[in-house]
Amino acid sequence: MRALYDVPAPAKLNLFLHVVGRREDGYHLLQSVFVLIDWSDTLHFELRHDGQLHRHDLGPALPEDDLSLRAARLLQQRSGTALGADIFVLKRVPWGAGLGGGSSDAASVLLALNRLWGLNWSRAQLLELAPLLGADVPFFVGGRNAFVEGIGDRLTPLEVPVERFAVVKPPVELPTKNIFSSPLLSGRKTDAIVAFFPADDVTHTILQPGFGHNDLQAAAEDQAHEVAQAAQWLRARYGNSRMTGSGSAVFARIKKRATIDVSLTATKLEDDASALASLPTKWAGRLCSSLSRHPLDGWVG
């Protein structure tokens, strides 16, 4: 194999995010449901035999040593391979948004280079590397929508019904460390949902549209009024809104229509699209569908 093209790196939404404790080392303990969506970056890989790793930006310029390069370097070092790669990144998912774009890129790099380099590592082996790159990376390597606990490293796969979302990203980036160090988060703690998982009744509860909240949202809105503005904009149009991750992106569930009339459904889709077209200048918005599996889920056992 000499190359892999059009490798997707999908974003995620946190349907809720509860801070349930804090470790002695300062890391916060979370409970959340992560859901994959069809807003994706695209990566291409070409094999090198000289051991060098190079990233080429096909869209917005990324930091010199971003997560995709760090993921490639880590896999190269741990596997001991003498091979390298040219990595081409077409960035579409906004960063500083809580959508997990950089983490997803890193996971897709691990999955793709594992195949391109012929390493044949198992998912369990790749999952050992994932937390070294970031708290969200294990989820994307895991390949399934999941109930997530700990610092993002404990995954329980969930079957989540396919839903549609309107996702809005105001023109502000929120560093995760700033949100977690906010005084508004100090001492805040939501009781853990359950002491065990899974349980059918609990699964049903946490997937309900109105369940839970995002404990980080108040801190994000305090640091960037645009987050509150985006939440209000979505609520006015869809009747609900919630921030994902540590922000700044906010999403709304698009309620299912009772009718199955194709023409009415098409009209509704047009109305949703036109609503996002009216976003303020420099805001990003997209109508998304959730995914039942990561597109690369079958690439590793």
Q: Would you please indicate which residues are annotated as catalytic (active-site) residues?
A: 12, 136
Q: Could you give the angle at the alpha carbon of 12 between the alpha carbons of 299 and 63, nearest 5°?
A: 85
State how far the Cα of 276 lies from the Cα of 200, in Å rounded to an integer: 36
State how far the Cα of 95 lies from the Cα of 174, in Å rounded to an integer: 9
Rg of the chain over all Cα atoms, to the nearest angstrom? 19
Residue 194 Rama label (left phi>0; alpha psi -120 to 50; beta): beta
